[in-house]
Structure 1
Amino acid sequence: MANQETKHPYTSDFLAALTGIISQWTAPSFLENVTAREGIDLDSTSITAIHFLDRQGPLRPSALADQLGTGASNVSKVLGRLETAGLIERRKDEADARATLIHLTAAGDEVAAGFVRAGDGMLGELLDGWSEKERHLLTQLTQRLDGSTRAFASKLASSHSSSQKAQS
């Protein structure tokens, strides 16, 4: 992969392959097409919003906007579509009555379960023909990379926070 003719090729074949996978898996049309196989007809931002609500629990709209990397007006539109579809509901935050939390409804939970089924099905197809040993090794190494990535992200956040305090 690293030997592909690109303007700025990676020196690591692994990084080139991983970047390709991440780019493909996060592409809006890919997300929409994978979930459509479970009968789910949602735009990619709605898919991602439901994913975050399923994985992290109820969120304030501002926190969801941060997760989605978008602004308040765009997240408001997404939430409006999801609310109209009966997939989310807004509830008062019991810890702060001025705030609202976004919750998945039972229908939203079912859609989130459909995402898992879609992902499991996709992975089954991707790894078709792989031996159990290969699947196990891929899982172990990916889990190790995930742990290293999380530790690195924490280190970066801490370093960034320290440098911001020093500039103040």
Structure 2
Amino acid sequence: MIKVIDRHNNGITALFEVAAAIERKWANEWNSHNNLGLSKTHILLLDLLDSKGPLRPSDLAETLHVTTGGVTVLTSKLLKAEYIKKTQNQSDRRASQLEITAEGKQLLEEAYEHIEALVNRMFGMLTADELKTLQVIFMKCLQA
């Protein structure tokens, strides 16, 4: 691995501080403007079910990088509000799967508007090319 940041010049510390500050700002923006009553992970879960169709809880856990117990906690609120429903897996009748409901799709549309406004507040000063570069950098960091 190539050492590109000199610890003695506080490069690592500065990068850590910037990443932490962005994370805090994102969370503060989400929480202060969130009138949906759901966490970012709830919205990601709904988005997954909307884009991929019905999924088993274990598949959701793997994709969201949480435990199956974490999925149970997340989905209980969504099931109670009828944003998702539990159905039987057609290929394996012993297994259940979760799918988004019409109410969940409607909520997801509201969430997309909220997220778009949040992204504009956080990154609106960047050009389209800078946003694309930032996305590529973030994806590289996540895949490391």
TM-score of the two chains, using structure 2 as the length reference: 0.69
Q: Which has the higher contact order (CA 8 A, sep 6+)?
A: 2
For residue 110 of structure 1, the aligned residue among 106, 114, 128 is 106
Q: In 2 relative to 1, CA 73–123 (structure 1 residues): closer, same or farther, beyond 3 Å?
A: closer
- Give the partner amino acid of 1:17: V
Distance in 2 separating the partners of 1:45 and 1:127: 21
Q: Per the alignment, in what secondary structure is the counterpart of residue 54 of structure 2?
A: coil
State the partner residue of 1:86: 82
- Give the partner amino acid of 1:66: E
- Percent same amino acid at aligned positions? 21
Q: In 2 relative to 1, CA 70–142 (structure 1 residues): closer, same or farther, beyond 3 Å?
A: closer
Deviations 1:24-77 (A, max 9, x none): 43x4x654444x2xx311245533432433344322112223344443344323
Q: Does 2:43 align with 1:42? A: no
Q: Number of paired residues?
A: 136
Q: Per the alignment, in what secondary structure is the counterpart of residue 41 of structure 1?
A: coil
- Give the partner amino acid of 2:60: L
Distance in 2 separating the partners of 1:82 and 1:136: 34
Q: Per the alignment, in what secondary structure is the counterpart of residue 43 of structure 2?
A: helix
Structure whose alpha-carbon radius of gyration is higher: 1
Distance in 2 separating the partners of 1:51 and 1:44: 10
- Give the partner amino acid of 2:21: G
Q: In 2 relative to 1, CA 143–68 (structure 1 residues): closer, same or farther, beyond 3 Å?
A: closer
- Give the partner amino acid of 2:12: T
State the partner residue of 2:137: 145
TM-score of the two chains, using structure 1 as the length reference: 0.61
What are structure 2's unaligned runs of at least 5 residues? Answer: 1-9
User: Contact 1:10–1:16 at 8 Å: present in 2 too?
Assistant: no
Q: In 2 relative to 1, CA 15–138 (structure 1 residues): closer, same or farther, beyond 3 Å?
A: farther
Q: Per the alignment, in what secondary structure is the counterpart of residue 12 of structure 2?
A: coil
Displacement after TM superposition at 1:135 (Å) = 1.6
